[in-house]
Structure 1
């Protein structure tokens, strides 16, 4: 799917689900300042052209408090600050995008132009090994959602635990 097709599908989803109105450029700029990296272009377009949160398989966290919370976090900056807690040890630029429930999250790498997707699942081993790349860009990941191939629960192609994990 092209970026324009993904945007059109996200726009239709936002309308059908009565999601928040699109964000404004100042909202994007504020999140980019908090993260310290520019938002991947497609993600920026979805927020600005479709909805300020709620899109995607589990409902992306809004850039600002829209009154509709799609996680325990009011907005994306709050989710990012919570995840940059030293206990989690996330690399800089990884941003929690969607709360998958049960402490699992889909994250996006702001340092990559195509928005490489990551998984946070502390149930597979331990918090030290909860983070793993998915090997998918945001466009591929969103296409999986729209095509109905996004898995519920843990991602099946992830290793259950690191070989050197004492809990695995």
Structure 2
């Protein structure tokens, strides 16, 4: 599945819709700031294809010099001052995509497959998919904020 995702994102980049790939220095800087290595698929997408901007709608945040989102310039920026009003996001979960209305998708960089999480109004829960599945659903157009919120466990 990783190869298909890389190819699909590369096709978007080749069409001119994405930033140029990240530098090795920018990726290393982000990893040092976060305190964990990026999952291999995300690292590969940044270095080989595009520095963010891929995924749902306007795409995920890049590393330094890449795609920004709202008030956030890159993964390091959001990790350091991120959108966690509850203060409950553990180390290693990094916000990568803002759905709006305080809803964020996060990637768990502690695990090489990159499990995806969600935070909304102080609640945090696993989305039940990894980065490759998340990206596949985004490319198919089946990854929606409604689906993300439907995965929220009942409290």
TM-score, L = length of structure 2: 0.89
* Cα deviation, residue 92, structure 1: 0.8
Contact 2:34 2:79 in 1 (8 A): yes
* Cα deviation, residue 25, structure 1: 1.2
- Give the structure 1 partner of residue 132 of structure 2: 139
Q: Structure 1 residues 152, 20: closer, same or farther in 2, change over 3 A?
A: same
1:98 match: secondary structure: strand
- Give the structure 1 partner of residue 63 of structure 2: 63
1:81-100 paired onto structure 2 within 5 Å: 81-83=80-82, 87-100=86-99
Contact 1:47 1:53 in 2 (8 A): yes
1:105 match: secondary structure: strand
- Give the structure 2 partner of residue 20 of structure 1: 19
- Give the structure 1 partner of residue 112 of structure 2: 113
Give the whole-Å Cα distance in 2 for the aligned partners of 1:61 and 1:159: 23
| Count of residues paired in the alignment | 154
Relative to total residues, which structure has the larger helix share, 1 or 2? 2
Q: 5+ unaligned residues in a row in structure 1: which ranges?
A: 163-168
Q: 5+ unaligned residues in a row in structure 2: which ranges?
A: none
Contact 2:63 2:75 in 1 (8 A): yes
Give the whole-Å Cα distance in 2 for the aligned partners of 1:156 and 1:69: 24
Higher alpha-carbon Rg: 1
TM-score, L = length of structure 1: 0.83
Moved over 3 A (4+): 84-87
Contact 1:118 1:134 in 2 (8 A): yes
Comparing 37-46 and 98-107, the one that deviates more:
98-107
1:19 match: secondary structure: coil
